Amino acid sequence: MQLSESVTLNAPNADFVDKFKEIADAHSLKFRRSSDHMIHCVFLRGNPLSTTIHPSKPIEIPLDSLTSKPQVSMARKIHHRATHIANTQGLRETLPTLNMAISGQEPMKNIDTLPPLPAPGQPLMFADLFAGCGGLSLGLSLAGLNGVFAVERDKMAFSTLSANLLERRDVPVPQFSWPSWLERKAWGIDEILEQHPLELSKLKGKVHVLAGGPPCQGFSFAGRRLESDPRNQLFEKYVEMVKALQPAAIVLENVPGMKVAHSAKSWKDLGIQLKPQSYYDKLVESLDKVGYQVLGRILDSSLFGVPQKRPRLIVIGVRKDLARHLHGGATRAFELLEEARVKQLQELRLPEMVSSWEAISDLEIEYAGTRPCTDPSSRTGFQELAYVGPRTPYQTLMHQGANGPMDSVRLAKHKPDIRERFMRIIQDPECAKGVVMHAVQREKYGLKKHRICLMRADNPAPTITTLPDDVLHYSEPRILTVRESARLQSFPDWFQFRGKFTTGGSQRTKECPRYTQVGNAVPPYLARAIGLAIRSLLEEATAAASQQTVTEAEQEILAIA
């Protein structure tokens, strides 16, 4: 601890002076006795503070009120001797009562305590930021967590989330317990932070997990990866919400590109060499400053029962007062996530890998047949699949809880020459399946798209994107339906999608139709495993903290005795 200036101590007796000397020596403090029997020592740099210490019951002062952390910690033995120092958030320093006279400042008032976790048997509560159509929310709900509120700016995406998690439908997951002060509509995170700061502060202790996935287009390798893309700054709003709610744990999902540093071009032009920093690095740095230990790893969704090769950056953070009770801190979250992955496959009776055929073969035209599209959001003239029932265990699992006909099974209306071209691609033995077609193959078939992939029936699907014509069906000359894309993302059949099917032109950046909603979503089964891991993580941290409290109390009693 770097100290300066002087503090006046009114010592009541010689014994107290001797005990104070022990503390002073341990901290390398200098002091001397004055003629008026007062003790002078140095105190916090930058604080013109005069302090008189009287023996009484100790109080707790948060470390973040100090200019820097002490470098030495001492075991607390009795009431006047101790300074107990722990981790930064919720870590407290115990000192005798201080009567403070601070020049130019008000005396310290009440000290905030960190929000508690729910009592045993009570569910963890979560909020979802940048929620999209609700893939992450659905997965956390399937893991036994309960939603409080969700933030999504797009009206179509929010309408889908609302239809499944807010409108009291008869579905196999709990509905959100939406706050009365927050209108049930599409919100931007900046709007809620600006308009409801007081109401958000009152949710401290009531939102235990804060989840979210800021828009990824600015980080994605499929895009232009512009450092100036305003969507890249939205994670800062995420951090602001973390500060407002102080959840016990945080979860963030994004594309792997978030871990890749943007080049600081403007600085290079000036001849200044700077080490480039990724937005993941900036996120970790920002969350560390507000009291969270954070770790991110790239995971493949196909390992969690999702029939899709979809690498994603999963970031998990734990409040530091809890992380210090975990062996390995935030690393422990990913150990528990692996345990949750194995447990999930066992519980759901899923193989290590679910193939495309196992996921969507019951949605083939040849198997199900077609009928005129009845979806109210569809234009006339389209056909849809006439569903007859599941063919595989995964399909049976997906169809549980689906009462009545599925939505979003509308088929694309391809022209005859397009269908003929797609069939030639499917039947071409030289056309690689399961990977993006290379330039020679695209030129051979007159394809102008730079990204198009023919599925393999016996493998998980390639990454489902927001563009419906990025992926071709493995056996039928067509693109996928919204429902097939949702199946490959692990959305259950009871989950309804709302809004337009597609959009184009200038509206592409302004609207979030069904294909885009599905392509942007976190796979619910990946989110389910994350939810199970977070539950185990917080239970473990809470149990360890309780045991430490008991142990310290026993040691204190023995020391006094």
**Does residue 93 register a pLDDT over 60?**
no
Q: Report yes or no on 560 lying in a domain.
A: no
Cβ 348 vs Cβ 305: under 8 Å? yes
Q: Report yes or no on 561 lying in a domain.
A: no
- Residue 449 structural domain: 372-520
10 vs 280, more confident = 280
**Does residue 479 register a pLDDT over 80?**
yes
396 with 295, same domain? no
301 with 259, same domain? yes
Tell me what the mean pLDDT of segment 63-74 comes to: 42
28 band by pLDDT with thresholds 50, 70 and 90: low
At residue 178's C-alpha, the angle toward residues 170 and 541, to 5°, is 100
- pLDDT attached to residue 364: 97
Residues 6+ away with beta carbon under 8 Å from 460: 302, 306, 307, 308, 309, 353, 354, 355, 356, 488
CA neighbours within 13 Å on the CB side: how many for 310?
27
143 with 89, same domain? no
Tell me what the mean pLDDT of segment 535-540 comes to: 94
The residues facing 59 across adjacent strands are 95
Tell me what the mean pLDDT of segment 48-53 comes to: 37
Asked which of 113, 134, 158 is the last residue of a domain, the reply is 113
Asked which of 84, 113, 142 is the last residue of a domain, the reply is 113
Tell me what the mean pLDDT of segment 473-486 comes to: 97
3-state secondary structure 4-26: EEEEEECCCCHHHHHHHHHHHHH
Q: Report yes or no on 363 lying in a domain.
A: no
**Does residue 498 register a pLDDT over 90?**
yes
- pLDDT attached to residue 67: 42
**Does residue 39 register a pLDDT over 80?**
no
**Does residue 349 register a pLDDT over 80?**
yes
- pLDDT attached to residue 53: 37
**Does residue 325 register a pLDDT over 50?**
yes
- Write down the pTM of the prediction: 0.75
462 vs 111, more confident = 462
Q: Report yes or no on 550 lying in a domain.
A: no
Tell me if residue 311 falls in helix, strand or coil: strand
What is the per-residue pLDDT across 248-283, written as a single tens digit (0 to 9) for each? 999 999 878 777 654 455 445 555 555 667 778 888
Q: CATH code at 479?
A: 3.90.120
Residue 474 falls in which region: left (phi positive, over 0), alpha (psi -120 to 50) or beta: alpha
161 with 66, same domain? no
Which listed residue (41, 133, 216, 373) is catalytic? Answer: 216
- pLDDT attached to residue 270: 56
Q: What phi and psi values does residue 160 have, to the nearest 5 degrees? A: -65, -45
78 band by pLDDT with thresholds 50, 70 and 90: very low
Dihedral sign for Cα 482, 487, 490, 494, please.
positive
- pLDDT attached to residue 77: 36
76 band by pLDDT with thresholds 50, 70 and 90: very low
Tell me if residue 206 falls in helix, strand or coil: coil
Host H or E run for residue 453: strand 453-454
CB neighbours of residue 244 within 10 Å: 19
What is the per-residue pLDDT across 140-182, written as a single tens digit (0 to 9) for each? 999 999 999 999 999 999 999 999 999 988 899 999 999 999 9
**Does residue 247 register a pLDDT over 90?**
yes
485 with 399, same domain? yes
295 with 194, same domain? yes
**Does residue 58 register a pLDDT over 70?**
no
What does pLDDT average to over the chain?
79
Tally of residues, the chain: 561
511 vs 153, more confident = 153
8 with 94, same domain? yes
153 with 278, same domain? yes
Q: Report yes or no on 67 lying in a domain.
A: yes
Cβ 137 vs Cβ 146: under 8 Å? no
Cα–Cα distance, 428 to 434 (Å, whole number): 14
394 band by pLDDT with thresholds 50, 70 and 90: very high
Q: Report yes or no on 552 lying in a domain.
A: no
221 band by pLDDT with thresholds 50, 70 and 90: very low
Q: CATH code at 161?
A: 3.40.50.150
Q: What phi and psi values does residue 12 have, to the nearest 5 degrees? A: -75, -25
339 with 411, same domain? no
Q: Report yes or no on 554 lying in a domain.
A: no
The residues facing 472 across adjacent strands are 454, 479
Residues 6+ away with beta carbon under 8 Å from 20: 9, 11, 39
Cβ 288 vs Cβ 250: under 8 Å? no
- pLDDT attached to residue 432: 85
What is the per-residue pLDDT across 420-446, written as a single tens digit (0 to 9) for each? 999 999 999 888 888 888 888 888 888
Cα–Cα distance, 531 to 174 (Å, whole number): 14
Q: Report yes or no on 549 lying in a domain.
A: no
Tell me what the mean pLDDT of segment 88-117 comes to: 42
Structural domains in the chain (count): 3
**Does residue 92 register a pLDDT over 50?**
no
Tell me what the mean pLDDT of segment 345-359 comes to: 96
Tell me what the mean pLDDT of segment 483-498 comes to: 97
Residue 216 a catalytic site member? yes
Cα–Cα distance, 301 to 303 (Å, whole number): 5
100 with 184, same domain? no
377 band by pLDDT with thresholds 50, 70 and 90: very high
291 with 212, same domain? yes
320 with 413, same domain? no
Asked which of 113, 146, 180 is the last residue of a domain, the reply is 113
Residue bearing tokens 């959305």: 491
